[in-house]
């Protein structure tokens, strides 16, 4: 179980993808969930949306149990408008992710919407 106070925070929306992949590869379930707002929505491409920390935790726990690892990809520059940012990464298999992040009160960023594949 990760100590949220010791986790690196996303100071820039561009940090989120790197942190998610790194934490997933380390098996850090709590650290993965900590990159999302408590009511965030995740579309992982199976036709069902998962919303909220517990639903994301359950989904990521399943992924970790299966042993599959996320891949680092070619991250596109974030498009930032005030306290919102669109982030995107082209993965090695050619698929593209799309996420919306929101700046928090302390200046860090968390995802509020995450779509694993838009292609």
Confidence of residue 78 (pLDDT cuts 50, 70, 90): very high
Instruction: Give phi and psi for 27, each to the nearest 5.
Output: 75, 25
The 10s digit of each residue's pLDDT in 2-18 is 444 468 999 999 999 99
Determine, yes or no, domain membership for 75.
yes
Determine, yes or no, domain membership for 26.
yes
| pLDDT of amino acid 7 | 81
pTM of the model: 0.91
Determine, yes or no, domain membership for 14.
yes
**Paired residues of 49 in beta bridges:** 43
Determine, yes or no, domain membership for 2.
no
Which residue range(s) make up the domain with 65? 10-115
CATH code for the domain of 34? 3.10.450.50
Determine, yes or no, domain membership for 52.
yes
Residues 54-74 have a mean pLDDT of 93
Number of domains in the chain: 1
| pLDDT of amino acid 65 | 95
CB of 116 within 8 A of CB of 97? Answer: yes
């Amino acid at each position: 179980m990760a100590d949220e106070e010791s986790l690196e925070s996303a100071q820039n929306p561009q940090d989120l993808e790197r942190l998610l992949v790194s934490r997933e590869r380390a098996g850090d379930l709590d650290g993965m969930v900590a990159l999302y707002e408590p009511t965030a929505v995740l579309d992982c491409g199976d036709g069902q949306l998962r919303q909220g920390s517990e639903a994301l935790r359950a989904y990521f726990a399943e992924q970790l149990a299966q042993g599959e690892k996320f891949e680092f990809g070619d991250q596109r520059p974030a498009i930032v408008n005030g306290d919102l940012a669109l982030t995107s990464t082209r993965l090695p298999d050619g698929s593209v992710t799309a996420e919306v992040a929101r700046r928090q009160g302390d200046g860090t960023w968390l995802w509020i919407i995450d779509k694993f594949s838009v292609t």
